[in-house]
Structure 1
Amino acid sequence: MWLRASLVVLIISSFSSFADEIHVAGAYSTDQLRGVRAGYRVTDLPIELPSWIGSPDVHLEAALNHWQDSNNTADNITAFTISPILSWHVAGAERPLYIEAGIGGSYFDKTRIADRHLSTQFQFEDRVSLSWQYSPSSEARVALGYTHYSNADIKRPNDGLDFLWMSWVLPF
């Protein structure tokens, strides 16, 4: 699993002309699933949002996720995700804290893992996180978040997947 994540990071970092940041995350689910995520983000897209939403920065994030059943490591699932992310600066100048949220799409290679039945390979990715620039001398950040995958009852059963995750973000 870690070899795949390392390979993904190397591939993604070769696309640095497209991306402004790369990230690597570890994830865990109370359904005894664990996994890794590697991806990239294009930051500060020039998109106008309605004034009632505040003034978040708008990003586009793509990632490759790989999870496995902790009780049966041969049981695994992989997903490619792409999602717009809204990022609100909430505190700090030298070491800022951000709240981030996004709803995007995911394509899974299978529709089952452990006792979870997803029914469709397409899933929505809903997420929320806190992201913190931990050092004033570096733009790197750590983020702690929650992600839910579901097909929004397009087809049943729609068990979905829920993950808590922690990531390290490295801007270029």
Structure 2
Amino acid sequence: MPLAMAFASVPAFAQQTDDSRYSAWFVQAGVSENNQALTVGATRDWRWQKQYRLGRVTGYWEGAVGRWLVNGRGSHDVTQVGLTPVLRLYPQAWQPGWFIEGGIGANVIFPTYDDGKKRFSTTFQFGDHLAVGKRFGQQRQHEWAVRFQHFSNARIERPNPGENFLQLRYSRQW
């Protein structure tokens, strides 16, 4: 939880700018060992940026609702609802539009996940992700990203097997 509070406080220490004016909707599909997931959501930029030697850092809030189609004996599909603060880096050495990002957020997954092999002990889960992607289009209004996302309850309660997804995301700025 202290890490999530640190992410939430980032906008207070960053330089304000009018350059980060985007909000977006997104759709993403993902797979794990025994699941397929489809997620939709929206993002809202923090409206700040900070320039470092490595590149430009920005951030945004992500709200998501997903459905996991669980394959396994005695399994049931689950719904995932989450809110995640995300930091994004546009590396100076990369071509324009390319980025890497990471975030850690709070999620509720209900009913409690059980695929017959793995069983979560809580409906509350942290979701952390790393991604690489590219903005494109005449006004960089489109975006593709490949993400690795992990869900776990951070040992709040056991068992805590976690679940990993490889995801492909399309976003459209408005």
Q: Shorter-chain TM-score: what band? A: 0.7 to 0.9
* Structure 1 portions without partners, runs of 5+: 1-18
The answer on whether the counterparts of 2:49 and 2:57 sit within 8 Å (CA) in structure 1 is no
> 1:45: Cα distance to partner?
3.6
User: Which aligned segments of 4 or more residues in structure 1 are displaced greater than 6 angstroms?
Assistant: 51-54
In 1, the alpha carbon distance for the partners of 2:55 and 2:137 equals 26
> 1:55: Cα distance to partner?
4.6
Q: Does 2:159 match 1:149?
A: no
Number of equivalenced pairs? 150
Distance 1:97 1:46, change over 3 A: closer
In 2, the alpha carbon distance for the partners of 1:74 and 1:53 equals 45
In 2, the alpha carbon distance for the partners of 1:134 and 1:127 equals 22
- C-alpha RMSD over aligned residues: 2.6
> 1:47: Cα distance to partner?
8.0
In 1, the alpha carbon distance for the partners of 2:78 and 2:127 equals 15
* Structure 2 portions without partners, runs of 5+: 1-21
Per the alignment, residue 58 of structure 1 pairs with 59
TM-score scaled to structure 2, two decimals?
Answer: 0.77
Distance 1:74 1:152, change over 3 A: closer
Per the alignment, residue 4 of structure 2 pairs with none
Distance 1:73 1:118, change over 3 A: closer
Per the alignment, residue 27 of structure 1 pairs with 30
> 1:75: Cα distance to partner?
2.2
Residue type at the aligned position of 1:77? V
Per the alignment, residue 8 of structure 1 pairs with none
In 2, the alpha carbon distance for the partners of 1:83 and 1:138 equals 23
> 1:73: Cα distance to partner?
10
Percent identical pairs in the alignment equals 23
